[in-house]
Amino acid sequence: QSVLTQPPSVSGAPGQRVTISCTGSSSNIGAGYDVHWYQQLPGTAPKLLIYGNSNRPSGVPDRFSGSKSGTSASLAITGLQAEDEADYYCQSYDSSLSGHAVFGGGTQLTVL
């Protein structure tokens, strides 16, 4: 059971918009800790996708965007492409776990 809750799977057709939620609590996201997102393509290592709730590292397309509100965060992907098919993880910190990093359980995105 992960500290941050994500839907196990989402899907969408090419060109569509999908969102992935990340729900926490008052000891992590709600406590003010930032949320970061990672993309893990099949058989590869995770890659930083969004940092500080809504910032994109250099090279990440602006089709990817992040937001945070209250005890939750969301990752939105617009103009869905086949190459976006991957697992997505949110990450934050939790004060009840000595301030250590915590991850969501991951969401598998399928492009139909």
Which residues contact other proteins (rule: CB under 8 A)?
Answer: 2, 33-34, 36, 38, 44-48, 51-52, 57, 89, 91-93, 98, 100-106
Min dist. Cβ of residue 53 to other proteins (A): 10
Q: Which is nearer to other proteins, 72 or 91 (CB)?
A: 91
Min dist. Cβ of residue 94 to other proteins (A): 10
85 three-class SS: coil
Strands (E) in the chain, as ranges, are 9-12, 18-23, 36-40, 47-50, 64-69, 72-77, 86-94, 100-103, 107-111
